[in-house]
Structure 1
Amino acid sequence: MGRNDEYEQFDREIEAMGVRIKDADAVKVRDDVFDEVTLMALYKLVHKKLISAIGGPISTGKEANVFYGERDGLGLAIKIYRIQTANFKAMNEYLAGDRRFSSVRGTRKALIFAWTKKEYSNLARAHEVGIPVPEPLAFDRNILLMTFLGEDEVPYPQLRNAAVEDYGAVYGTILDYIKRLYQEARLVHADLSEYNILYHEKPYLIDMGQAVTLDHPRAPAFLIRDVKNLNRYFSRYCDVPDEEEVLRAITGTGRREP
């Protein structure tokens, strides 16, 4: 069976479950994204009535593709980790020191499944303490369902592309997010940058698969890197405190060398 025949069969089977394909041409960028494992996970989520429509891609990358979806009119972000092309070694670095997932061993597939669960868990912890993140709704294998951050099927822009009126205020807001993430959710984002923050009237943190608990051996180094990235970006637009002051505000102490 050729790829086009597989796509058509996929569309027929999904639509037979009552799921609308909102943008058939755009969804066909799924080439190596919708492999057999992913289709099985998608079928399970559809059977649970968690997805009622699938649209085109919101973002594409080496690690994951994000598609727009709907559940009874609610906008969804359907994040699909790519089993074949995800950076196995980089993911393992974040998982190995995390006691929640340190027992994960074996195949690339097992690691990707654990990573998906890890992002769900991290988002849930951040959401529970009131930090603006996509609300995690469900996961299965390598697929994570979240609320969609955007309007009219268009995602909010990354901070680097957003129209920001008061950079000083936004900097302070993000610093408060990092502090609450650290002190209340007991997490370090570990990949914070202008690429992983969306902005629409306020900033939103995204892409939290790599976030680690405070007992991760590299959590202090990751926190310092996050602060450096935050100060690097915002120093172009407003005055920022030095790193030591920021770290004291977040941790209540100061720099913790790796």
Structure 2
Amino acid sequence: MARGEPVTVEPVVGEPAAVADLGAERALLVADVHAGVEVGLRYERGVELDSRADARRERLCRLIAETDADRLVVLGDLAHRIGAPDGDEREELETLIRAVTDRVPMTLVEGNHDAGVAETFADDLDVIPPGGGVLDGDVGVVHGHTWPDPSLLDADVVCTGHEHPQVRLEDAVGGSRVERAWLRGELDPAAFTEDGADAVGDARDADPPELVVFPAFNERSGGTWVNVEGQSFLAPYLPAALPHADAYLLDGTRLGDYRRV
């Protein structure tokens, strides 16, 4: 397939979010909001943390305003706990979804934590199934916990979440810190689909999309240390579908090949 003017997915400097033109709409894209993570950590690990629900909601709404977005697209895991939301988590989700949809429409790409959310809030959200889809403007979107629909290979750029990429950075005196990061590189079509090369046409193979792996919006949700040798990835197509990719910090700093950071 011959591509036209390339689509740009532009990160918002300093934020785990990006903007993209979707035909007549300008979209704000985020991944892995994990609303209710504090509730989940309390039940899963017995960890008590003050809720940052208000801060997450206000940050999303501020970004919608600052980027002049016409739509919010969440690349999966809007919620943290798997299953139908209830209690404090449901209250956080209701307030967040209402705050967003009072401003702009909201699209959710269903992630592995979102089956209950998609059903509970079906009247409030546009839901894309787990295999993902291609939005207007040739932007492919998928969460990443399952094999993508092969139609995403027809997009100019594919945006994925689920992985929560992070880099471990060391200083000259042996100290270290972990920061969220973007991964961007040319997608290997044969490694991106469950059927491998059998699902890839010659045109797709000759002109593959760019793959953008989004950092988690929620800083409390952990992640994959992508520059640590032997680290296992979560998405079934990673790292094979991204044989060459650069890592970028949220402030825009380019770190180069993520494996050599």
Q: Please indicate, yes or no, whether the TM-score normalized by the shorter chain is above 0.5.
A: no
Give me the TM-score of the superposition, normalised by structure 2.
0.22
Which has the larger share of strand? 2
Which has the larger share of helix? 1
Who wins on radius of gyration, i.e. which is larger? 1
